[in-house]
Amino acid sequence: MILVFGSLNIDLVAQVPVIPGAGRTVLAPSYQTHFGGKGANQAVAAARIAGPGQVRMAGCVGRDGFGDSAIENLKSNGVDTGLIVRADEPTGCAFITVDQAGENAITVASGANMAANAADLPAALFGTDVVLVLQMEVPFAQALQAAWRTTSASGTVIWNLAPVPDKMTREMVSDLLGITDYLLLNEHEAMDAAVAIGLAPSGYEAAATDLARTGDLTCIVTAGAQGALAVAADGTRLHAPAPRITPVDTTGAGDTFVGAFAAMVHEEVPLQTALQVGCEAAAQKCLVPGAQAGMPMRAKIPSLA
């Protein structure tokens, strides 16, 4: 089973000529409403690769229409929603601007996501077959507790260190590294994590090597058009190229990689295959607007055809 413990949001997306800087306002002709939240995104991406009934989502939504819609959307994508809790806070919401090149800027109002609690996960849930997927949009202490419970039951922990907290401490990163099997980040997040624990890497490849060695784990860095790099604790490296595409919207591409990768870890395929499937799924997503709308089904992945 793939268990995603994380955030659920509603995304409000506006297409803009340029992403505004501080003190600037830009006009958009309209906006679209999409389903999002890194946790929900990764659950949908995993379910579309792994198939119905293979993914369970745990987290919190509000007692509002956005919460109803978020749960129904996950159900329609084959995700088990029985572990989602209702909180007395509004459902999380993200405000996204996308420019003409497909790049994005995102502001997230966490809302009910801050009420996510690992204590709501029943003990019988955990076992050797569990692949737990975590991010950084619910309280860190709760995510860490879910990771400890998974490891104690000899399950597998995949931690996507995104988004990087404004005040990421050495202790936070050290705790995370000590409980994670696969650490997934982009090139900027890798550098931030390495610096947080007192390292001074020359680039993201060196950062990945340092993090993998320090945490005795496999560190995977996604680098957009440069593909994905995996570094094991002993320094062994694997690389998967990214398909050549012209992106329409990169929103959710990283989450798509994480979800597809988790599905492959659950299927116990070789790491090289898991990397390639993640890259292919992320590229497919970039061709369609919206975080979840473009997440591909298994049949669309060349490596799985």
Q: Among this protein's residues, is 255 annotated catalytic?
A: yes
Q: Is 290 a known ligand-binding residue?
A: yes
Q: Is 75 a known ligand-binding residue?
A: no
Q: Is 81 a known ligand-binding residue?
A: no
Q: Is 223 a known ligand-binding residue?
A: yes
Q: Is 226 a known ligand-binding residue?
A: yes
Q: Is 167 a known ligand-binding residue?
A: no
Q: Is 285 a known ligand-binding residue?
A: yes
The C-alpha atoms of residue 301 and residue 263 are separated, in whole angstroms, by 13
Q: Is 203 a known ligand-binding residue?
A: no
Q: Is 227 a known ligand-binding residue?
A: yes
Spatial neighbors of 45 by CB under 8 A, at least 6 apart, are 252, 255, 256, 257, 258, 259, 260, 263, 281, 285, 292, 295
The C-alpha atoms of residue 60 and residue 117 are separated, in whole angstroms, by 8
Q: Is 225 a known ligand-binding residue?
A: yes
The C-alpha atoms of residue 169 and residue 188 are separated, in whole angstroms, by 16
Q: Provide the CA 147 distance to its chain's centre, in angstroms.
A: 15
Report residue 163 as tokens: 């988004």
Catalytic residue among 80, 181, 210, 255: 255
Q: Is 89 a known ligand-binding residue?
A: no
The C-alpha atoms of residue 109 and residue 28 are separated, in whole angstroms, by 21
Q: What is the largest CA-CA distance in the chain?
A: 52
Burial track 83-118 (b if 16+ CB lie within 10 A, e otherwise): bbebbebbbbbbebbbbeebebebebebbbbebbbb
Q: Is 288 a known ligand-binding residue?
A: yes
Q: Is 128 a known ligand-binding residue?
A: no
Give every strand in the sheet of 92-98, ordered side by side.
32-36, 9-15, 92-98, 104-109
Q: Is 39 a known ligand-binding residue?
A: yes
Q: Is 251 a known ligand-binding residue?
A: yes
| Binding site residue list for K(+) | 249, 251, 285, 288, 290
| Binding site residue list | 9-11, 37-41, 137, 186, 222-227, 249, 251, 254-255, 285, 288, 290
| Binding site residue list for ATP | 186, 222-227, 254-255
| Binding site residue list for substrate | 9-11, 37-41, 137, 255
- Active site (catalytic) residues: 255
